Amino acid sequence: MDLPKNSKSTRIGQVLAATAVALGGTIASVYALNRLRRHHKTQALLDTLPPDTDVGIEDETAEPADDVYNPAQVTDGHTETVALEQMTHEELYRLAQDHDVAGRSSMRKAELIEALRDVDHD
Q: Where are the domains of the chain?
A: 1-53, 68-121
- Please tell me the distance from the alpha carbon of residue 15 to that of residue 61, in angstroms, as a whole number: 51
pLDDT for position 121: 66
Is the Cβ–Cβ distance between 69 and 83 less than 8 Å?
yes
Instruction: Give the C-alpha separation, 80 to 74, whole Å.
Output: 7
Q: pLDDT tens digit string along 24-83?
A: 999 999 888 989 899 888 888 877 877 777 766 655 544 544 444 444 444 444 434 468
Q: Is the pTM of this model over 0.75?
A: no
